[in-house]
Amino acid sequence: MEGCLCLTGSAGEPGKHAEGNKTRATGGAAHSEGISTLASGLSSHAEGWTTVASGNYSHAEGNLTIASEAYTHAEGYSTNASGPFSHTEGSDTVASGAFSHAEGSHSTASGSYAHAQGCYTTASG
């Protein structure tokens, strides 16, 4: 634990690491760094500013990103990876389908195995 107002969960739980300002690593073997980040999933990693990695083995990075299901990855600005094994990147993108991928700006991949790329695009099946 480093920095100011960091929380690494209950004492005696190995593998948790928080560094920065108002960071929390509460999941087993979780790592949180930056400002106002939360890594609550098992082996999750949150970094940047106001990011949340709540899914097991998830990774959220950037600014206002959320990786909420198992094995998800959210990166960029205001991105949300909520489907299991999904990946979102860019700005204001959402990947809510299982194994989906959204990238670009304001793109949404809501179907399983869907891929949305570009600006204001949607892949639903």
pLDDT tens, position by position, 28-62: 999 999 999 999 999 999 999 999 999 999 999 99
Domain count, the chain: 1
End-to-end alpha-carbon separation of the chain, Å? Answer: 43
CATH of the domain at 111: 2.150.10.10
State the pLDDT at residue 106. 98
Low-confidence ranges of the chain (pLDDT < 50): 10-12
Report residue 42 as tokens.
């098992």
Write out the residue range of the structural domain in which residue 48 sits: 2-123
Please state whether the predicted TM-score (pTM) of the whole model is above 0.85. yes
Cβ atoms of 72 and 87 closer than 8 Å: yes
Q: What is the 3-state secondary structure (H, E, C) of 56-122?
A: CCCEEEEECCEECCCCCEEEEECCEECCCCCEEEEECCEECCCCCEEEEECCEECCCCCEEEEECCE
The confidence score (pLDDT) of residue 11 equals: 37
